[in-house]
Amino acid sequence: MSKLIIKNASELVTCKGKSPKHGKDMSDIGMIKDGCVVIEDEIIVDVGSTEEILKKYNEQDYEIIDAKDKAVLPGFIDSHTHFIFGGYRADEFSWRLRGDSYMSIMERGGGITSSVRSTRNTSLEEFINIGKKRLDKMMAMGVTTVEGKSGYGLDCETELRQLEAMKELNKTHAMDIVPTFLGPHSVLPEYKGKENEFLDMMINEVLPVVADKGLAEFADIFCEKNVFSIEQSRKFLSSARKLGLKLKIHADEIVQLGGTELAVELSMSSADHLLQASDEGIKQLSQSNVIATLLPATAFCLKEEYARGRFMIDSGCAVALATDFNPGSCFTNSIPLVIALAALHMKMSIEEIISALTINAAAAVGREDKVGSIEIGKKADIVILEYPSIHFLPYHVAVNIVETVIKNGKVIKGE
């Protein structure tokens, strides 16, 4: 049995309590000064002040990490990514910077069509190799659980291959991976005007295989003007639920379409993006346990207005933050950047940001009973900062200050 004690933490952030945390409760992160955590066989068995905890345990029986002058937090959870894909679109980023329109880029064969073409030409082995490298970089920034979406195949074979890569990585990599089937991510030119035909293919041909093989825990759809309507999204997601999948939605990113309200109607786990979510949609979110997953790095990269994170929290919503790491609109898996943007542009406090990246993000991926807080009985997924306070996280703008990463009670990064 592996046994570990982390002691003398200047600040021990537990994020204990009800999950998810709504509104003002997001500021309550269960801080313990001079904190201590006891871990046995991958599980947290005791939490409290160093003085009270060490009275109960013989330190000689444990590996010891002295966290003096360091802050200790739950492992971060990146609850919205597209980290398995083929190819790159760096040239498009430069085109966008000089003012080229999305449509002109599409006419040159760019946009999601480019990613689909590259992803279809990427083998399972290549997905696994590049996925491992990306997961390593995420873990170095303190991420211990990540959600990953398919959605760059838009056909049966490639969608399944993306999910199979995540399944294999979940077995071989220290990171916990939560797989999401996002078959209806876009409509390729050959399906323009035949969106219902495409959706029926996803529902009748791909979804049953995904469910039968256990390749995904969630289903997701891009509910947006000129992509998939409210009615189409309801049809797809209802079909997915019948097959045992939990639900997410890309909602109200570009146009106020009503995807936020649909998320509440179907009691989804999360509604993501929400840049254009209506006041009524936000009100409904606040009265539900649907997580509002906000993606500030995408707004940053696209030079869009940010989602109304401050208003959502003040309205009583449960807010999570994630990177939206993808090959087109947001090629970053940087948690430090997300923290900086949430603090500087979304007016969130560091306490709210931590709740959004831990306990609320855990709820967004259906893992709140296992991870997201430092509590007795939960998995020992923990990060230790180089500095004595959580306030160094936004202060070090977009800089990684995670010194040690502990996953399932084992030190993955650090001494």
- Binding residues for 4-imidazolone-5-propanoate are 89, 152, 185, 253, 329
CA distances from residue 197 to 99, 192, 204 in whole angstroms, order as listed: 35, 10, 10
Shortest CA distance to 317 belongs to which of 372, 250, 363, 365? 363
Name the DSSP letter for residue 378. Answer: S
Q: Enumerate the known binding-site residues for Zn(2+).
A: 80, 82, 250, 324
CA distances from residue 341 to 80, 201, 350, 359, 397 in whole angstroms, order as listed: 16, 39, 11, 19, 9
Asked if residue 20 has a cis previous peptide bond (ω within 30° of 0), the answer is yes
Q: Enumerate the known binding-site residues for Fe(3+).
A: 80, 82, 250, 324
> Contact, 146 vs 81, CB < 8 A?
yes
Q: Side chain identity at 305, as an amino acid letter? A: E
Distance CA 160, CA 179 (A): 11
Q: Enumerate the known binding-site residues for N-formimidoyl-L-glutamate.
A: 152, 326, 328
> Contact, 376 vs 44, CB < 8 A?
yes
CA distances from residue 384 to 117, 140, 158, 215, 401 in whole angstroms, order as listed: 41, 11, 38, 33, 9
Q: Enumerate the known binding-site residues.
A: 80, 82, 89, 152, 185, 250, 253, 324, 326, 328-329
Contacts of 61 (CB under 8 A, 6+ apart): 3
Sign of CA dihedral 333, 319, 164, 381: positive
Shortest CA distance to 365 belongs to which of 144, 207, 163, 173? 144
Helix (H) or strand (E) holding 65: strand 63-66
DSSP helix/strand/coil, 121? coil
Number of Cα atoms under 13 Å in the Cβ half of residue 108 = 12
Phi, psi for residue 93 in degrees, rounded to 5? -60, -45
